[in-house]
Amino acid sequence: MADATGLSRRRVDELITKGQIRVNNREAVLGDNVGPTDKVTLGGKIVSTGENKTLLILNKPAGYVSSRNGQGSSTVYDLLPKQYRRLKIVGRLDKDSSGLLLLTDDGALANLLTHPRYSKEKIYSVSLDKFIDKSDIHKIEEGVLLSDGISKFKIERMTSSNQLKVTLREGRNRQIRRTFARVGYKVTSLHRVAIGKYTLDNLAPGEFKKVDVKS
């Protein structure tokens, strides 16, 4: 139900407790199992429980917030047609960052892409405010201590001395920015190009495409 509506599981439980969700014309109860042929309504409106799942790849521009409530700022949902605004974001990007953002109603896929046990690679193009010394690259690849634990990732130089390819298998809040800051560098741009097998290809900033969940 949470996947189908975009609501949190806690909120769904509250609605069930309040009798606002019905299954086959009876009030739902916590723990109900619902299949594709069951009729589910929320506030009198039918909720689709079919097996067809949606996955979007969005090229997020910088300046957009990866949430439903932008608190005065534009959100990534402003870039999508109404029928896709129920989808959940997989792997957020901070407001100042750009690039690949996944949105889906497939809870299993979202878990596969974000849970630490699956260690999905995330690849970023990162620009710094100055040339980074080899010794500092080595420090980061060995691991530096942040307030929420050790952070380390792979770094490759690109064509520009200040542009790097960063590959990591975590996804903590502003991890890349905080890690470079810890050794004395400021990230001036951060652009994600891949999560696992999903890539931006030729999507322009603000554009999205629908992809096969099974592909």
2-47 under CATH 3.10.290.10, yes or no: yes
Beta strands in 36-146 (DSSP E): 40-42, 45-47, 55-60, 88-90, 98-104, 122-128, 144-146
- Both tokens of 115, joined, read 């849970």
Summarised one tens digit per residue, pLDDT across range 167-203 is: 998 878 899 999 999 999 999 999 999 999 999 989 9
Summarised one tens digit per residue, pLDDT across range 98-108 is: 999 999 988 87
Of all residues in the chain, the percent with pLDDT exceeding 90 is: 54
Residue ranges, comma separated, of all CATH 3.30.2350.10 domains in the chain are 121-195
Report the distance separating Cα 1 and Cα 49, nearest Å. 8
Please tell me the CATH code under which domain 55-115+203-211 is placed: 3.30.70.580
Instruction: Taking residues 132-142, report their average pLDDT.
Output: 95
pLDDT of residue 215: 47
Of all residues in the chain, the percent with pLDDT exceeding 70 is: 92
pLDDT of residue 179: 97
Please provide the average confidence, as pLDDT, over all residues in the chain.
88
pLDDT of residue 184: 97
**Ramachandran category for residue 206: left, alpha or beta (phi over 0 → left; psi -120 to 50 → alpha):** left
pLDDT of residue 75: 95
Q: Taking 80 as the threshold, does the pLDDT of residue 160 lie above it?
A: no
Q: Which CATH number fits domain 121-195: 1.20.1600.10, 3.90.226.10, 3.30.2350.10, 3.40.50.300?
A: 3.30.2350.10
Active site residues: 94
Residue ranges, comma separated, of all CATH 3.10.290.10 domains in the chain are 2-47
Q: Taking 60 as the threshold, does the pLDDT of residue 91 lie above it?
A: yes
Summarised one tens digit per residue, pLDDT across range 8-46 is: 778 888 889 999 899 998 998 888 877 666 788 888 887
